[in-house]
Amino acid sequence: MSHTYSHNLVHCVFSTKERMNLIRNPEELWRFAAVTAHRKNSHVVAAGGTFNHLHLLILLPQTITLAKAMQELKANTSRWLRETSSKFQWQEGYGAFSVSESQRTTVADYIVGQAEHHPHAKLRAGVYRAAAEIRDSVRSAICFRMKRHVAPTGLGN
């Protein structure tokens, strides 16, 4: 065969560290991610997400690996997001799922509708954060109590 044809349609998802609501303007992030992908010869078919995660449906060229595309997208979007939030970080890793052409529209609609799929994202993130704070407080109290009741070592007892 004298020509190579590939059609790598991939649904990618990545989240902010600890699912914290660190994305102030998701729509701007979607546009920035699309421009970044375009500069790397990838095409964003659909973008969506909320204040704590990003979904992209991308068409990867045969010249770039999925891992390289994700590295570039996460690094560039992270750098851009840190301009407005110094504590911004993506969670390690990502999800990536191949999509058949017959499911392209269904997946694109799902991605674009993320705000409707996660209407309580802010509330849920706040509940998770409060639960983590309570958990940390309980752990600290338990450790403090344990330290008070353990006899010091090395004092000739």
Domain boundary assignment for the chain? 8-118, 119-149
Per-residue pLDDT at 62 exceeds 70: yes
Indicate the class that CATH gives domain 8-118: alpha beta
Beta bridge partners of 54: 14, 49
Contact (CB, 8 A) for 33 and 56: yes
pLDDT band at 30 (very low <50, low <70, confident <90, very high): very high
How does pLDDT run across 76-133, given as a tens digit for each residue? 999 999 987 778 999 999 999 999 999 999 999 998 987 766 555 444 445 455 555 5
